[in-house]
Homo-oligomer: A and B are copies of this chain.
Amino acid sequence: MAGALRAVNIGLGDFLSPFRDGGTPFVDVDWKPPAQGDPELIDILFDLTAGFRDAHGASLIDQANQTGLRRILAAQPVVRRVLPARELIPDFDENVILHAGPPIEWENMCGPMRGAILGAVLYEGLAPDEAGAERLLHSGSVVCRTNFSRGVVAPMAGAVSRSMPLFLVENETAGNVAHSPIHEGSGRALRFGVSRPPVLARLKWLERTLAPALDRALAAAGGVALKPIMSQALLMGDEMHQRNVAASLAFHRSLAAGLVDAAESSDDLKGIVSFLTLENEQFFLNLAMAAAKTAMDAARGIPHSTLITAMNRNGVDFGLHLAATGDRWFTAPSLYPKGLYFPGYSEADANPDMGDSAIVECYGVGGMALSAVPSVAHLVGAGNLMESLGYTFEMNHICVGRDPDLAIPNCDFAGAPAGIDVRRVVATGILPLIISGVAHHQAGIGQVGAGLVTPPMEVMNKALRAFHRMAVK
């Protein structure tokens, strides 16, 4: 073989151009250095792997992560009630509006989140019009707080005010609770930053007609267990972020007979049944989110654990919690989803990724379980069956376990990837996959698409560095 030049390229594709241009045969190995080639992160990962051992030499971090994983897998979320937010959250003052994601001031919010907050102020009757509402927010008479600070999760802008009904979801295993509002349905919606009169009228119908009936039906049934529904829905083409068709129908059937007694009139019943079965195929999303939050909260506050217990976005920043670092937010600018845009819209119209909904990915469904749902993979531009299988296999690299009760039929019933370890994310460069709706960057327009997005890598690096600093203290 002497005389014939042949090349093997490992990593940087740029080195290949002379071979590509010159016709020299080459093999290109798609390799990336660990931890983005960052010497400080490599040192931290080495230190976290070699150090932090107990008297028997076992890793304190691995043990803590296994504890977290056990708590996540053991969670049994049950939705028990639907009550006004002010009854569930005692310190929910009249002048407070909650929002999705990590903390952000009114002045710094993106368009659709502002639109949603203004809508919530109008919904509460705190101002007669948008201009009045804006004055209250600007002056600080009305203040914004995170959903997370009150145990709430809500999709997209996530605007929640004290009159809105919230689900009470209890993790029967650990006893902790979480809340989420009722999903509004499709079309123009507050969560995408639209506050027109029909949007607010539908929210009032949720408050006055649907919520009391649902609450009576839930109370009569003693609650509805959510994990069995999630488990069934994974067999039925839902990943429970972008698609909740089966889960919503399965939830409805749990209460279908009970709603006959719980509704105040036949007309109410018809409206409720239509909303739950036909008009709102994403109804279950908010229940999946609250369920996931009760599971992830069970793993909060475990010393030495590098598990990610929350991911959310306020449309400007992406926020992250680690199990060991409790309520401390790590943030970095939120990315733009890539996927499908509605006719007439493009990425130029998109707001950066937004919402508390990525809590379902922390739990192992949504984008983490993409192989369960080739129809969603198809929709968000993630390709065919084999590609969607590849995505979930990749997610296994960054998780410490699998949830056998969330079995994915297309993975031959292997469980969904569970327990994202920030060490693995930083080491491999593989980021959790999130399936997300896309809001227009201006208030008042609404949803313009849906797609796949990841956290920014920087938020992972920040969290790992902070964990390390805390651990070595």
Interface residues of A (CB under 8 A from B): 232, 235-237, 245-246, 249-250, 252-254, 256-257, 260-261, 266, 269-271, 273-274, 277-278, 373-375, 378, 384-385, 409-413
State the CA gap A413–B374 with chains docked (Å).
Answer: 9
Given contacts A374-B409, A374-B412, contact A256 B237 (CB under 8 A): no
Closest-by-CB residue of B relative to A232 is B245
Across the interface, name the chain B residue whose C-beta is closest to A254: B278
Copies per complex of this chain: 2
| B245 lies within 8 A of A260 (CB) | no
Smallest CB separation, A273 vs chain B (Å): 5
Name 27 A/B residue pairs within 8 A (Cβ), A-sorted. A232-B245, A235-B237, A236-B246, A237-B237, A246-B249, A249-B249, A249-B253, A252-B277, A254-B278, A256-B274, A256-B278, A257-B270, A257-B271, A257-B273, A257-B274, A260-B266, A260-B269, A260-B270, A261-B266, A261-B270, A373-B409, A374-B410, A374-B413, A378-B413, A385-B409, A385-B411, A410-B410
- In the bound complex, what is the Cα–Cα distance between A271 and B261 (angstroms)? 12
Q: Is the CB of B278 within 8 A of A253?
A: yes
Residues in chain B near residue A410, CB distance under 8 A: 374, 385, 410
A274 contact set on B, CB distance < 8 A:
256-257
A427 to chain B, nearest CB (A): 29
Q: In the complex, how many angstroms separate the beta carbon of A371 from the nearest chain B beta carbon?
A: 9
Closest to A270 in B: B257
CB distance from A2 to the nearest CB of B (A): 29
On whether the beta carbons of A235 and B375 are closer than 8 Å, the reply is yes
